[in-house]
Amino acid sequence: MSALGPLYPAGMSQPSQAGAPAQLPAPVRIGLLGCGNVGAAFFSIVADGQSGVASRTGMPLEVVKVAVRDPSRPRPGLGGSGLGGLLVADPWAVVADAEVELVVELMGGVEPARSLVLAALEAGKPVVTANKELVAACHGELAAAAEASGVDFLYEASVAGAIPLVRLLKDSLAGERIVRIMGIVNGTTNYILTRMSEEGIGYGAALAEAQALGYAEAEPSADVEGYDAAAKAAILAAIAFDAEVVSSDVYREGITSVGASDIDFAKRLGYEVKLLAITEREGEDEPVSVRVHPAMIPRAHPLASVRDSFNAVFVEGEAAGELMVYGRGAGGRPTASAVLGDVIEAAHHLREQSRPRTSRRRTTRLRPISELRSQYYLSLEVLDRPGVLAAVATVFGSCGVSIRSMEQVGLRHEARLVFVTHTALEADVQATAAGLEQLESVERVTCLLRLVGSEEEAR
Amino acid sequence: MSALGPLYPAGMSQPSQAGAPAQLPAPVRIGLLGCGNVGAAFFSIVADGQSGVASRTGMPLEVVKVAVRDPSRPRPGLGGSGLGGLLVADPWAVVADAEVELVVELMGGVEPARSLVLAALEAGKPVVTANKELVAACHGELAAAAEASGVDFLYEASVAGAIPLVRLLKDSLAGERIVRIMGIVNGTTNYILTRMSEEGIGYGAALAEAQALGYAEAEPSADVEGYDAAAKAAILAAIAFDAEVVSSDVYREGITSVGASDIDFAKRLGYEVKLLAITEREGEDEPVSVRVHPAMIPRAHPLASVRDSFNAVFVEGEAAGELMVYGRGAGGRPTASAVLGDVIEAAHHLREQSRPRTSRRRTTRLRPISELRSQYYLSLEVLDRPGVLAAVATVFGSCGVSIRSMEQVGLRHEARLVFVTHTALEADVQATAAGLEQLESVERVTCLLRLVGSEEEAR
């Protein structure tokens, strides 16, 4: 037995609710891999008798072993008597422990998490994880291992923290034909873009502010270059379309080239700029498109009003229509709450010896970004001399890209032309951008944004 | 066997996905009670082989019997060969049919739906319903019958249509201590309030427009007086707090007293007016508050930007933080999509003979509206004569209600005073309103709105 004993009040096995069944099952014994922010929050929710998890759910839980890098380090956040007797340095000792029935993986990274999770699943122990790198890279392999053992492999917390997106797609929309998912799934970049939009400050100043507040890392590229969002996009595509998609399959652009003037221009046209993770498929046998890039989104769209570090995911289903889920995409307690929901589901299946539902994975064709059709915003730094616009317009025309509107902004020495196109093919727009950069009168293409929503709606 | 035979393509029992298990289970045979908008949409999604429900979920479904009022009426929307052989007039024949394994109840109203659902559950047949009146009135009784038989009683579609709220609360937030739920759960009133806010038109004109568009009934009181929202509030309270709450327990006000000038004033203060269903509880042993009334909500709040006939529900959990789900709260296909998610869950449990999770219900104390603490907006029609404000302010003061701001609006012959109070007790504000109406100089209190969000946040 653990040093702490069952983490629920002694009287709890005989709940006092009117009409409730007499007996709670024996507590499900959990092994925790990693005990950072999320792990500590999870532990304290489960351990807090006052929180009444067992009385609310009929499922008592008990954390019996916790793997951490340094078991000797004091952990005052976890209470005095705390975690003492449960801590070990070796995660394999947690997975292998005969007492551990269910594994919660919160280490992050692909290895050794992948090997540990595989070992647990192969030993018939359900696994709950919040590790997006792991799920994005190895979802198919881990789901197959879980299915072979007839146990759960659940990962609600790996996408958008507390937002119940995985359950929405797998359960609520089971049977639904998903058309498109668009998500704000990275809180750091949404905070930066919100500040740029609302305060008119530049990217650098907004990033510095996010770093000062702890929303962005000192080395921010995982967030601002879109890598974090790309991992989540891969997971969303995998669930929505039963697709074999990993992070490196995702077309990815970050927000570093978005300037204050681009956001200002977007706002004047009635748009907000958001970093979106998008996955879509036109029909059952069509290829899946999955990409991350900053986009201009009409102000009336529900995603446009998602501010600061909040996350939200907008789902379009054939029958369900438009759905959006919104909430905290990160943070110890919100993420721990999502982990807890999964743990309770897996615990019920374990105690009732029922096999979880399985999903079917197929090899999937992906649609390359070059085949995307969209409207585009382009911003060019140009020399202020006669004939520039004619030369620029010629490049657009020769690539078959039709211009919807053009505006000159800025002063003489830093003249800038901004364009919004009609719906065009990405390949043609990329050719246009390359052609423009060949022009002597064009310094460079400073920003290229895709517009979200149909051209008709936007007018 | 049914006249139609299994409603999935013949080749489907051997799905062609790589790595998928070889065999689908036998189709789950469904009896449908009612075939209006939602029933027809559900039937066509299930019957459409192209929609691939079986291939996406591993669970083939077959509708084998449908009870309708008039089986002889042609139903062209359901295709030529259509529903012919499946239709019966007697719903009891559907429930009693030995072939029917699972019942989908879409009749609406409490009886005979209640008796039919009870009979099905007692016969060990899981039931899925979209009937909010039934769930709001009889949830406890029906859940107990389902538990006794070890089968599912699922009702995702009964609250907010396609929005996956029940699953969010029961599964994703299992174990979470819910603090508060605030929802826009009636599309008709949200459409009316949106038009009033955006076009500056009055309640009557906006209602007429909603009626012309089919969003509101000719006799609109179920929507505009808040009865529909109250049923949904009861269901939300029941799920969130395991509370025994029925529609008639819900404090209820509609939107008919909200005028264009009230909305205009709210907007100038930075608020939108929304009809909200609210349920909250301060602690595990505290009474539950459940109410429906128009409220002023700060513009930056995610609920404030929910427009037209969309629904959204905002959930505050102790660990999860703030979550919101948004979507189509009504309509045949969105509601049918929610029904389908439930049917697939119940079908899996049926085929795997696993008992669904049960919830515990306790008798619940309800907090009367008189104990609410909130900020308030009051609008008074007054005679334009000296000393009115002094008399009015005296009433506020003697009832212990502190005024935050006052404004006189309107012209000489229709003078109006509007007040926003500091946080006050509802009982005191009601006493104030009653006292004001006793004053000779006050014609009447035309509108009383509660403000949502703490006073500190709102400043």
pLDDT > 50? residue B408: yes
**pLDDT tens sequence across B294-336:** 999 999 899 999 999 999 999 999 888 999 999 988 888 899 9
Q: Name the residue among B409, B351, B343 with its Cα closest to residue B46.
A: B343
Instruction: Write b or e for each residue in B282-316: b if 16 or more Cβ atoms lie within 10 A of its Cβ, otherwise e.
Output: eeeeebbbbbbbbbbbbeebbbbbbbebbbbbbbe
Q: What angle do CA A263, A264, A266 make, to 5 degrees?
A: 60
Portion 345-384 of A in contact with B at CB < 8 A:
345, 348-349, 352, 354-355, 357-358, 360-363
Q: Name the residue among A142, A136, A143, A158 with its Cα closest to residue A248.
A: A136
> For residue B388, what are the contacts with CB-CB under 8 A and spacing of at least 6?
B382, B417, B441, B442
A170 is catalytic: no
Higher pLDDT, B320 or B395: B395
Question: Count of CB atoms within 10 A of residue B269's CB?
Answer: 16
Cα Rg, chain B, nearest whole Å:
25
A404 CB within 8 Å of a chain B CB:
no
What six digits make up the tokens of A382?
A: 């140009």
CA atoms of B337 and B46, how far apart (whole Å): 10
Portion 424-443 of B in contact with A at CB < 8 A:
none
| Three-class secondary structure assignment of chain A | CCCCCCCCCHHHHCCCCCCCCCCCCCCEEEEEECCCHHHHHHHHHHHCHHHCHHHHHCCCEEEEEEECCCCCCCCHHHCCCCCHHHEECCHHHHHHCCCCCEEEECCCCCCCHHHHHHHHHHCCCCEEECCHHHHHHHHHHHHHHHHHHCCCEECHHHCCCCCCHHHHHHHHCCCCCEEEEEEECCHHHHHHHHHHHHHCCCHHHHHHHHHHCCCCCCCCHHHHCCHHHHHHHHHHHHHHHCECCCHHHCEECCCCCCCHHHHHHHHHCCEEEEEEEEEECCCCCCCEEEEEEEEEEECCCHHHHCCCCEEEEEEEECCCEEEEEEEECCCHHHHHHHHHHHHHHHHHHHHCCCCCCCCCCECCCECCHHHCEEEEEEEEEECCCCCHHHHHHHHHHHCCCCEEEEEEECCHHHCEEEEEECCEEHHHHHHHHHHHHHCCCEEEEEEEEEECCCHHHHC
**pLDDT tens sequence across B256-266:** 999 999 999 99
pLDDT > 80? residue A41: yes
Contact A168, B164 (CB under 8 A): yes
Chain-centre distance of CA A357, in angstroms?
A: 23
Phi, psi of B381 (to 5 degrees): -90, 125
Which element (helix H / strand E) includes B156?
Answer: none
> For residue A290, what are the contacts with CB-CB under 8 A and spacing of at least 6?
A233, A234, A236, A237, A243, A245, A249, A250, A251, A278, A279, A366
At A51, is the pLDDT very low, low, confident or very high (cuts 50, 70, 90)?
low
Q: Is B163 strand, coil or helix?
A: coil
What six digits make up the tokens of A443?
A: 């310094």
What six digits make up the tokens of B405?
A: 């701001």
> ω into residue B112 within 30 of 0, thus cis?
yes
Report chain A residues whose CB lies below 8 A from the CB of B362: 17-18
**pLDDT tens sequence across B186-241:** 999 999 999 999 999 999 999 999 999 988 889 999 999 999 999 999 999 988 99
Q: How far is CA A364 from CA A172, A245, B18, B338, in A?
A: 23, 8, 11, 27
CB contact under 8 A, B305 and A305: yes
Contact B151, B354 (CB under 8 A): no
CA atoms of A155 and A152, how far apart (whole Å): 10
**pLDDT tens sequence across B96-154:** 999 999 999 999 999 999 999 999 999 999 999 999 999 999 988 999 999 999 999 99
Portion 279-298 of A in contact with B at CB < 8 A:
284
Chain-centre distance of CA A127, in angstroms?
A: 20
Question: Of the ranges B72-86, B309-323, B445-459, which one carries the lowest mean pLDDT score?
Answer: B72-86
Domains of chain A: 10-162+333-351 (3.40.50.720), 175-327 (3.30.360.10), 369-458 (3.30.70.260)
Question: Of the ranges A55-59, A136-140, A371-375, which one carries the lowest mean pLDDT score?
Answer: A55-59
The reported pLDDT for the residue numbered B244 is: 86
Q: How far is CA B260 from CA B159, B412, B430, in A?
A: 29, 19, 23
The alpha carbon torsion through A433, A437, A441, A443 (nearest 10 deg) reads 110
Backbone region of residue B34 per phi and psi (left: phi > 0; alpha: psi in -120 to 50; beta: other values): left
| Average pLDDT along chain B | 87
Q: How far is CA B30 from CA A14, A176, B35, B41, B132, in A?
A: 38, 18, 13, 15, 21
Q: From the list A51, A177, A307, which residue is nearest B177 (CB)? A: A51
**Active-site residue set of B:** 232
CB contact under 8 A, A307 and B300: yes
Count Cβ–Cβ pairs < 8 Å, chain A vs chain B: 224
Report chain A residues whose CB lies below 8 A from the CB of B167: 164, 167-168, 171-172
Q: For B180, which DSSP code?
A: E
CA atoms of A377 and A422, how far apart (whole Å): 10
B14 CB within 8 Å of a chain A CB:
no
Q: What is the mean pLDDT of residues A97-104?
A: 96
Considering only alpha carbons, which residue of chain A is nearest residue B322? A327
Contact A143, A167 (CB under 8 A): no
Q: What is the mean pLDDT of residues A185-208?
A: 95
At A459, is the pLDDT very low, low, confident or very high (cuts 50, 70, 90)?
very low
Choose, from A65, A132, A232, A274, the residue flagged as catalytic: A232
User: For chain B, first and last CA: distance in Å?
Assistant: 67
CA atoms of B9 and B48, how far apart (whole Å): 9
CA atoms of A311 and A195, how far apart (whole Å): 15
pLDDT > 70? residue A23: no
CA atoms of A281 and B450, how far apart (whole Å): 45
| Amino acid, single-letter form, for residue A189 | T
| Amino acid, single-letter form, for residue B266 | A
B202 CB within 8 Å of a chain A CB:
no
What six digits make up the tokens of A56?
A: 């609310």
At A283, is the pLDDT very low, low, confident or very high (cuts 50, 70, 90)?
confident
Considering only alpha carbons, which residue of chain B is nearest residue A327? B323
pTM of the model: 0.86
* Percentage of chain A lying above the pLDDT 90 cut: 62
Beta partners for residue B133, in sequence order? none
From edge to edge, which strands make up the β-sheet containing B61-67? B87-88, B61-67, B28-33, B102-105, B127-129, B153-154
The reported pLDDT for the residue numbered A174 is: 83
Q: Count Cβ atoms within 10 A of the Cβ of residue A390 and give its class: 0-12 exposed, 13-18 middle, 19 or more buried.
A: exposed
pLDDT > 60? residue A5: no
CA atoms of B338 and B162, how far apart (whole Å): 5
**pLDDT tens sequence across B413-440:** 668 899 999 999 999 999 999 999 999 9
pLDDT > 80? residue B74: no
The reported pLDDT for the residue numbered A258 is: 95
The reported pLDDT for the residue numbered B425 is: 96
Considering only alpha carbons, which residue of chain B is nearest residue A321? B334
Q: What angle do CA B146, B150, B152 make, to 5 degrees?
A: 55
Higher pLDDT, A54 or A134: A134
Q: Count Cβ atoms within 10 A of the Cβ of residue A18 and give its class: 0-12 exposed, 13-18 middle, 19 or more buried.
A: exposed
pLDDT > 80? residue B458: no
What six digits make up the tokens of A214?
A: 């702890």
Q: How far is CA A121 from CA A67, A118, A183, A252, B130, in A?
A: 17, 5, 30, 32, 38
Can you tell me the ipTM of this complex?
Answer: 0.84
| Amino acid, single-letter form, for residue B444 | R
Report chain A residues whose CB lies below 8 A from the CB of B194: none
A52 CB within 8 Å of a chain B CB:
yes
Contact A417, A454 (CB under 8 A): no
Contact A240, A201 (CB under 8 A): no
Beta partners for residue B276, in sequence order? B293
Report chain B residues whose CB lies below 8 A from the CB of A320: 162, 327-328, 333-334, 337-338
Q: Name the residue among A184, A118, A183, A178 with its Cα closest to residue A153.
A: A118
CA atoms of A122 and B378, how far apart (whole Å): 65
Instruction: Looking at the complex, report in whole angstroms how far the Cα of residue B303 sits from the nearest Cα belonging to chain A.
Output: 10
| Average pLDDT along chain A | 87
CB contact under 8 A, B341 and A171: yes
pLDDT > 50? residue B12: no
